[in-house]
């Protein structure tokens, strides 16, 4: 076996095949999952495992270069400490979760997301081709998903009331319309930096514009306020970036306004439920008035239940264990508290939460230094697209389970790998 890899054919040493595999599983992440979030988590793990196996073949057949996550790095020791912390969370759970398969599977899947991140980061550090096909795979899959939704609506028998349950809680190929919203958030965020590019061909510009129009329309159709706000924040930050770099902003502002208005018109054209569209989202917001509880649709109650469970079990240090939220006696609904801070506190406690946020901050700042602060001329568009995913989904995670659900966790791991991998402008 060793001699085989030493004499490996060129197609094994050339990373194009593994890059194609990565694009393939990224595409499938949005359109092959079903209506059960826990089955989805295992499907995503299989995709990550497939890439891991491919990565091992690639590394054994191409041994040049060191691993791009050296032991001396701060990140390595943060990951090591975090891994030890969440292991303690599992074994010290006040609910005895170390013998619960439901909890152990969550622990295992979380570690696999991290392993997937490492493998993708190391591979992309060596890959010499453009990363644009990988990043555009995300909106391409959402484009397909949008037409699946439209086709399903036109072909199904609506003589009986399926409405809210089917389209809100179990839409085509997704487990919940809010999860669909996560995927669209990443899609719209990815496309924004590509309108920074200079000298793009007319065909590429038309292609990107068509993708943007459909994804913006799909975003408004889903009606999620968190989705809309997260996307607007990333577009505002990108606009600030253009100003600080003294780059032209007219094309970016004009295209963004066209896509937003066009998306609103599309969503209104295909609106079929009370929760569709920006106007319905605005109405829900104004109806809440100054009532934070109504504005947050009951989320503060979930957050309070987490703190009460931690207090009653005296589990602030290491938390309740993986999936600990689901085992809380005072839990009223949902599988996660719809906020990344309280989700991490519930599962990993104060130590695990601080370590993971330190790790996220370390990786994000590293990317900012590489792709924002040190850039004086041409911006790295794929890297900015990855950063846009991180910020938009990170913002959305303040009111939803971005770091809980497998599809959005996959996107976060992929985006961070692109964001921190040593690379040239591609």
Residue 30 in any domain: the answer is: yes
Instruction: Report the number of distinct structural domains present in the chain.
Output: 1
Say if 425 falls within a structural domain: no
HEC sequence for 139-161: HHHHHHHHHHHHHHHHHCCCCCC
Kindly report each contact of residues 375-380 with a partner whose C-beta sits within 8 Å and lies 24 or more positions away, as own/partner.
375/245, 376/245, 378/425, 379/193, 379/196, 379/245, 379/247, 380/423, 380/425, 380/426
Q: How many CB atoms lie within 10 A of CB 422?
A: 11
Q: Is residue 244 part of a domain?
A: yes
Sign of CA dihedral 77, 83, 84, 89: positive
pLDDT at 283: 67
Please give the structure tokens belonging to residue 382: 């794929």
In a domain, 400, yes or no: yes
d(CA 19, CA 90): 35
- Is 156 among the domain residues? yes
CA distance 292 to 289: 8
Whole-model pTM: value is: 0.91
- Between the alpha carbon of residue 164 and those of residues 145, 147, 202, the distances in Å are 19, 19, 41
Instruction: Give CA–CA dist 146/214, Å, rounded.
Output: 8
Q: What is the pLDDT along the chain (426 residues), one digit of tens a residue?
A: 444 344 445 445 568 999 999 999 999 999 887 778 898 999 999 999 999 999 999 988 876 656 655 566 788 889 999 999 999 999 999 999 999 999 999 999 999 999 999 999 999 988 989 999 999 999 999 999 998 888 877 776 554 445 555 677 778 888 888 889 999 999 999 999 998 877 778 888 899 999 999 999 999 988 888 888 999 999 999 999 988 888 888 888 999 999 999 999 988 888 777 667 776 766 666 665 666 656 667 788 999 999 999 999 999 999 999 999 999 999 988 899 999 999 999 999 999 999 999 999 999 999 998 888 876 677 889 999 999 999 999 999 999 999 999 999 999 999 999 999 876 555
* Position 426 in a domain: no
State whether residue 397 is helix, strand or coil: coil
DSSP letter, residue 326: G
Q: Residue 120 has which token pair? A: 């993708």
Quote the radius of gyration of the chain (alpha carbons, Å): 22
pLDDT score at 353: 97
Which residue range(s) make up the domain with 126?
Answer: 2-420
pLDDT of residue 170: 76
| CA 411 from centroid of its chain's CA atoms | 3
User: Is residue 8 in a domain?
Assistant: yes
- Asked if the structure places residue 146 within a domain, the reply is yes
**Distance from C-alpha of 199 to C-alpha of 210, rounded to nearest angstrom:** 18
Name the residue among 228, 218, 125, 211 with its Cα closest to residue 172: 218
**How far is the C-alpha of 380 from the C-alpha of 371, rounded, in Å?**
6
Per-residue pLDDT at 163? 53
The predicted pLDDT at position 376 comes to 61
User: What is the C-alpha separation between 415 and 349, in angstroms, rounded?
Assistant: 26
Q: Where are the alpha helices (DSSP H) in 193-249?
A: 202-222, 225-244
The DSSP annotation for 76-89 comes to: HHHHHHHHHHHHHH
What's the token pair of residue 8?
């490996």
pLDDT number for residue 1: 42
């Amino acid at each position: 076996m060793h001699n085989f890899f030493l004499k490996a054919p060129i197609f094994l040493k050339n990373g194009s095949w593994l890059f194609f595999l990565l694009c393939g599983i990224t595409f499938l992440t949005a359109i092959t999952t079903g209506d059960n979030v826990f089955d989805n988590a295992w499907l995503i793990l299989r995709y990550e495992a497939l890439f891991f196996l491919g990565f091992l073949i690639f590394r054994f057949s191409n041994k040049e270069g060191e691993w791009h996550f050296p032991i001396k790095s701060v990140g390595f020791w943060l990951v090591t400490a975090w891994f030890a912390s969440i292991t303690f969370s599992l074994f010290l759970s006040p609910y005895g979760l170390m013998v619960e398969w439901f909890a152990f599977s969550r622990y295992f899947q979380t570690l696999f997301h991290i392993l997937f991140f490492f493998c993708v980061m190391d591979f992309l550090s060596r890959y010499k081709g453009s990363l644009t096909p990988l990043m555009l795979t995300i909106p391409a899959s959402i484009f397909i998903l949008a037409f699946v939704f439209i086709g399903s609506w036109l072909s199904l028998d609506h003589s009986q009331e399926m409405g809210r349950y089917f389209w809100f809680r179990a839409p085509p190929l997704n487990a919940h319309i809010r999860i669909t919203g996560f995927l669209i958030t990443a899609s719209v965020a990815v496309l924004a930096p590509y309108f920074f590019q200079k000298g793009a061909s007319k065909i590429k510009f038309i292609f990107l514009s068509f993708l943007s129009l459909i994804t913006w329309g799909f975003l408004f159709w889903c009606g999620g306020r968190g989705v809309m706000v997260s996307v607007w924040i990333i577009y505002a930050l990108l606009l600030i970036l253009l100003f600080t770099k003294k780059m032209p902003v007219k094309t970016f502002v004009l295209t963004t306004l066209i896509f937003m208005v066009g998306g609103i018109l599309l969503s209104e054209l295909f609106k079929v439920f009370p929760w569709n569209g920006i106007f319905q989202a605005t109405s829900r917001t104004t109806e809440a008035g100054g009532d934070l509880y109504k504005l947050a649709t009951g989320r503060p109650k979930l957050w309070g239940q987490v703190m009460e469970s931690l207090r009653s079990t005296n589990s602030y240090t290491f938390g309740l264990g993986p999936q600990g939220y689901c085992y809380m006696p005072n839990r009223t609904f949902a599988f996660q508290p719809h906020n990344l801070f309280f989700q991490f506190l519930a599962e990993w406690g104060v130590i695990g939460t601080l370590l993971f946020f330190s790790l996220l901050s370390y990786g994000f700042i590293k990317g900012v230094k590489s792709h924002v602060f040190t850039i004086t001329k041409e911006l790295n568009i794929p890297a900015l697209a990855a950063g846009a995913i991180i910020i938009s989904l990170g913002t959305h995670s303040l009111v939803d389970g971005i770091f809980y659900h497998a599809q959005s966790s996959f996107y976060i791991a992929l985006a961070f790998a692109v964001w921190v991998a040593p690379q040239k402008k591609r």
